[in-house]
Amino acid sequence: MNQDSIVSTETKLGEPGPSRKVFIKTYGCQMNVYDSGRMSEALAGEGYVATEDMQEADLVLLNTCHIREKAAEKVYSALGRLRDMKNERQAEGREFMIGVTGCVAQAEGEEIIRRVPSVDVVIGPQTYHRLPEALKRARSGRSVVDTEYAVEDKFEHLPDQSRAVSARRNVTAFLTVQEGCDKFCTFCVVPYTRGSEISRPIEQIVREAEKLVSAGVRELTLLGQNVNAWHAEGENGERLGLGDLLYRLSEIPALKRLRYTTSHPRDMDDRLIEAHRDLDMLMPYLHLPVQSGSDRILKAMNRRHKAADYIALVERIRAARPDIALSGDFIVGFPGETEEDFQATLRLVETVGYAQAFSFKYSSRPGTPGADMPDHVPDEVKAERLARLQELLLSQQHAFARSCVGKTIDLLLEKPGRLPGQLIGRSPWLQSVNVDAKDVEIGDTIRVRITGTGPNSLFAEVA
């Protein structure tokens, strides 16, 4: 989730006109990947063609993440290099524009322009639909900062992403259904950069999903900072939750798979668990962060659940869907964490058993309550504990992969492999699967038998 990636669109989607090139560097989570794609589509309508070569770009956007320590300083370091590129281009009489978007843009705002005056636009996560207009205004010679939370629905102002998906011939797609967070965990900056929890209307979501499926998408991953906090009002005034949305999306013809991320344990209700029980197309993989196994630390984090609550929830989910695989998030070395607290985390991991997990040393985020807490854990202690936790999590991940060998599964083919005749898809549990297959196409679903494991993937043969 915290890997840097580059989002690009190979096909120009807008009206004919003078072509400019845009390079977008994306930091952080799947939500930022989705946002970068939508910005690329919006800019295509203004004549921009995406490129993966920064050197040939006329516009560079840094779509930033603020979740890790020193995130802002990394952005400023990158901006220093871009400033030098801009000076070189201007000396050649060529246009070169710089934009900062995402969570660092939201958090830093005008400070970015003060520190790096060569930046042309600073756009927050809720206003990136205004990016084309901001660029037009910035060409007049004045930097534009737009980090106000938008009153209008940005999704109604963004172009139809199904056109870009069709052009790229994607068979999987992200679909944002919820944004923001009201949980205010004491370690997290998201409520301050993404705002309060907002749910997209169900009609809007279904309409976009149907267009994506018509464009060739066969697997949808629903996105949200707290995706299972999504809610809407039904026709009779009843409250609908994510489970109801999944049931509705499962009715779309030609859609084969559904996933969602990221969940909060407090929002995992009965209806959502029933969806895991009833919907075969809802993949048996759930990312359910717990962060710590210590009740004392969970309370300090403001997670509002105890370790026993989390374990009981996992048991209910597994009773409904026995083949489900779990992923989680863990923070090591939160202020005040003792060795006893850390041992409680190890015990929870051993009890639950994870197919995959993300684990990090606690990093202080300015403006969050955790930053002002006493008893910060020394970095060398955090590093040592993280190494022990990751050793346990990695052993569980490898054990889960080995348990898949010999199983026969349905595999949705997503892209060509590195070798001739090889194709790659993802297992129901989100692992990459390599298979040699003939007379099939990207987007087909085939039956395969898992034959072996690699460091980060599985190998299979046609069943």
* Binding residue positions for [4Fe-4S] cluster: 29, 65, 103, 181, 185, 188
Q: Please, are residues 64 and 100 in contact by the beta-carbon 8 Å criterion?
A: yes
Residue 35 near residue 28, CB atoms below 8 Å: no
Sign of CA dihedral 403, 446, 262, 34: positive
SS3 annotation, 43-100:
HHCCCEEECCCHHHCCEEEEEECCCCCCHHHHHHHHHHHHHHHHHHHHHCCCCCEEEE
Element spanning 25, H or E? strand 20-26
Closest CA to 155 of 35, 275, 266, 253: 35
Structure tokens that stand for 122 in this block? 């600073």
Given CA atoms 352, 353, 356, 359 in this order, what sign does their dihedral have? positive
In whole angstroms, what is the distance from residue 94 CA to residue 247 CA? 52
Q: Which residues are annotated binding-site positions?
A: 29, 65, 103, 181, 185, 188
Amino acid present at 240: L
Residues pairing with 448 in the sheet: 409, 462
Query: Counting beta carbons within 10 angstroms of the beta carbon of residue 218, is it exposed (0 to 12), middle (13 to 18) or buried (19 or more)?
Result: buried
Of 159, 125, 143, 131, nearest to 35 by C-alpha is 125
The CA–CA distances, whole Å, from 56 to 51, 94, 182 equal 8, 11, 41
d(CA 220, CA 258) in angstroms, rounded, equals 5
Find out whether 374 and 426 touch, Cβ atoms under 8 Å.
no
Q: Contact, 71 vs 112, CB < 8 A?
A: no
CB atoms within 10 A of CB 26: 26
Q: Report the C-alpha gap between 173 and 160 in whole angstroms.
A: 13
* Residues 178/226, Cβ–Cβ less than 8 Å: yes
Tell which residue, 50, 55, 56, 58, has the closest CA to residue 24: 50
